[in-house]
Amino acid sequence: MKDRHIFLIGFMGTGKSTVGQALAEMLGWRFVDMDERLEKEEGITIPEIFAAYGEPHFRKLESRLLERIAGEERQVVSTGGGIVLAEANRELMMHSGFVAALKADAETIIERVRQDASRPLLRGNVEERVHRMLEERKHAYDFADCSVDTSGKTPGEIAASIVAFREEALRGRSGSGA
């Protein structure tokens, strides 16, 4: 099932949505940004969900949406940074597609997320929150099929390297299965 969806995972501000769009365009696939779709379906923003119902409720909605997306037609899926925290989500992504992790250093992430109020987990001292969460999640994205360091690269370059990693992985599988 590695030849189905492509899931982009990674910490907040690593460029999953921008790269996802470039990747979908390159492949001629559909693109879905999970945070955006969740907000549209719920008719409420993510900060509002966190404020009104708390993070556990958001995680439930996120996991349910992932299950539905996994069953849909092939697409490039940009996930929320915390989707990897649940083992069931990790398993589902691994079994329904190719998982690409995007990496960026703390300074780049801080620069990207600083002006954006849409991330409830980064409210307050952004520098401190990012450093702490990066430490807490330092191995959370390790299960990916490939990992791409995004620093100094354009979305198109990152998308192209994900395509190359995926093709190599798919060739490797069919090779070993032959």
Burial (Cβ within 10 Å: 0-12, 13-18, ≥19) of residue 81: buried
Give 150's contacts (C-beta < 8 A, 6+ positions apart). Answer: 14, 15, 19, 102, 103, 104, 108, 158
- Which CB, 54 or 172, lies closer to ligand S3P? 54
CB of 164 to ligand S3P, least distance (A): 24
Closest CB 63 distance from ligand S3P, rounded Å: 12
Contact between residue 62 and residue 105 where contact means Cβ atoms under 8 Å apart: no
Nearer to ligand S3P, 104 or 121 (CB): 121
Degrees to nearest 5, angle at CA 106 with 40 and 135: 90
Residue with Cβ nearer ligand S3P (21 or 120): 120
Contacts with ligand S3P, residue ranges (CB under 6 A): 12, 16, 35, 46, 80-82, 119-121
CB 123 to ligand S3P: min, Å: 10
Nearer to ligand S3P, 120 or 163 (CB): 120
| Closest by CA position to 118, among listed 17, 32, 31 | 17
Closest distance to ligand S3P from the beta carbon of 129 (Å): 11
Closest approach, Cβ 27 to ligand S3P, in A, equals 21
Q: Which is nearer to ligand S3P, 48 or 167 (CB)?
A: 48
Query: 116 burial class (0-12, 13-18, 19+ CB within 10 angstroms)?
Result: exposed
Helix (H, G, I), strand (E, B) or coil at 147: strand
